[in-house]
Amino acid sequence: MQVRVLYFAAVRELVGRDEEALELPSDVTTIGAFYTHIASVHPELAGRMGHVRIARNEAFATQEETITPGDVLALIPPVSGG
């Protein structure tokens, strides 16, 4: 299944792109499985995904949420500011 992945802030800097289309393996059907998969696709994210939230189709997603073809998954790191 293909999804569109958006990268924001520090995650964007780590992977070196704003977005990409990814073909997910058949065993990556939930947001929880996607966390592990994206760290294998982009090893520079390994060990950092615990602080990254994922939004699915513009709403924050739970680990148990199912991914469907064509979903837009956004990786959003913590932000700070004042």
Asked whether residue 31 is assigned to any structural domain, the reply reads: yes
Q: Is the pLDDT of residue 81 over 80?
A: no
**Alpha-carbon dihedral 45, 47, 50, 56, rounded to 10 degrees:** 20
Asked whether residue 82 is assigned to any structural domain, the reply reads: no
Query: Is residue 5 within 8 Å of 24, Cβ to Cβ?
Result: no
78 φ, ψ to 5°?
A: -65, 145
pLDDT tens column, 55-65: 999 999 999 99
Look up the domain containing 46 and give its range: 2-76
**How many domains are there within the chain?**
1
CATH number, domain with residue 36: 3.10.20.30
The 10 Å CB-count burial string (b at 16+, else e) for 38-68 is: bbeebeebeeebeebebbbeeeebeeebebe
pLDDT tens column, 29-64: 999 999 999 999 999 998 889 899 999 999 999 999
